[in-house]
Amino acid sequence: MGKLILVRHGKTMLNSLDDEERLRGWMDIPLDAQGLREAQQTAERIAQHPIQQIYCSDLYRAKQTAEAVVRATHAPIVYTSELRPWNLGSLTGQRVTDILPVLLELESDLERSAPEGESFLAFYTRYSQKLMQLTEIAERCPTCIVAVTHHRNLLAAPTILQGGDKTKIPVRGGAKTGDLLWVEQKDNGWNLRAEQALIRASIPNEVLRNSVIQRKSDVGKPLAASESQGTA
C-alpha cells in the first residue's frame, strides 16, 4: 500500500507572513527566488522516496514546483484544474487582512459565491472528489504518489479525510510554502503527518535560471480552468 504526499507550492511575491500577504487564488503568478529554492529542496526531499506518479494544479506556481519534482524523480506528471485553490474572483490580489471578514462569511455561507468567483461549497466539492480519488490511487499503488497543490487545499485536507465540519476550516495558518503533508491509511481511516520545509541559504544560479520560464505577458492574470494543459 502506497502513500499520498500533498505538497504546497513554493513562495510567490504575494505570499507573506505579515499583514502584506495578498490573496493568490487563481492568479497565474510565478514563484519568486525563495519559491524556486523551496521547489528545489522539496524535490530533493521527495526524491528520497519511490514516486510512481505526480499530479499537479495547472496554475503556474504549482507547475514550477512540480517540474522540479519531475526532474528529481523522473516520474510522469498530470496537470489538473481540480487541484486549484478556491476561486475567489475579484477578491484575488487584495490583502488577506483586509478581506478576512469576507472570507469567513463566505466559508460559513457555503453556497454563496465569491464576487466573480465560486462558492466555498463548489471548491470543497471539486477538491474533495479529487482528493478522495487520489487516496484510492494511493491505496492501489505499491509506492508513493505526489499532488502539488495550494494553501487552501492543504487546510481543507484533514476535514475532507477525517469527516470534519467544512465550515470550521481555518482561513490562515497551516502549511507554509514548500511544506509536505503525508497521507497514510491507518485502521480504516487516514493519518496525516506534516513535514515542514527547511530553506537552504542558496541554490546554484544555474538551477534558478533553468527553473524560471516565466511567461511575462501572462503573469498576474486570473486563468480560466479551460486553459489547463491537461495531461503531460
**What average pLDDT does range 196-216 have in this prediction?**
43
Please tell me which residue, 174 or 131, carries the higher pLDDT value.
131
Task: Tell me the per-residue pLDDT of 106-136, one tens digit each, with 9 for 90 and over.
Answer: 988 999 999 999 999 999 999 999 999 999 9
Please list, in sequence order, all residues whose beta carbon lies within 8 angstroms of the beta carbon of residue 226, skipping any fewer than 6 positions away.
none
- What is the C-alpha separation between 130 and 128, in angstroms, rounded? 5
In this prediction, residue 79 carries a pLDDT of 98
Which of 1-15, 103-117, 189-203 shows the lowest per-residue confidence on average (mean pLDDT)? 189-203
DSSP state of 17: S
DSSP 139-165: HH-SSEEEEEE-HHHHHHHHHHHHT--
- Identify the CA nearest to 16 among candidates 90, 95, 91: 95
Which of the two residues, 217 and 96, has the higher pLDDT score? 96
The mean pLDDT value of the chain amounts to: 85
For the chain, domain boundaries = 3-227
With bands split at pLDDT 50, 70 and 90, how would you rate the model's confidence at 198?
A: low
With 70 as the cut, is the pLDDT of residue 190 above it? Answer: yes
Helical (H) or strand (E) element with 56 = strand 51-57
- CATH class of residue range 3-227: alpha beta
The reported pLDDT for the residue numbered 213 is 33
Residue 221, pLDDT above cutoff 70: no
Q: Do you know the residue count of the chain?
A: 232
pLDDT at 199 over 90: no
Per-residue confidence (pLDDT) for residue 186, from 0 to 100: 80
pLDDT at 228 over 70: no
- Average confidence (pLDDT) over 133-153: 95
Question: Which residues 6+ apart lie within 8 Å of 107 measured at CB?
Answer: 120, 167, 169, 171
Instruction: Output 148 or 221, whichever has higher pLDDT.
Output: 148
Q: Which residues contact 152 (CB under 8 A, 6 or more apart)?
A: 85, 86, 123
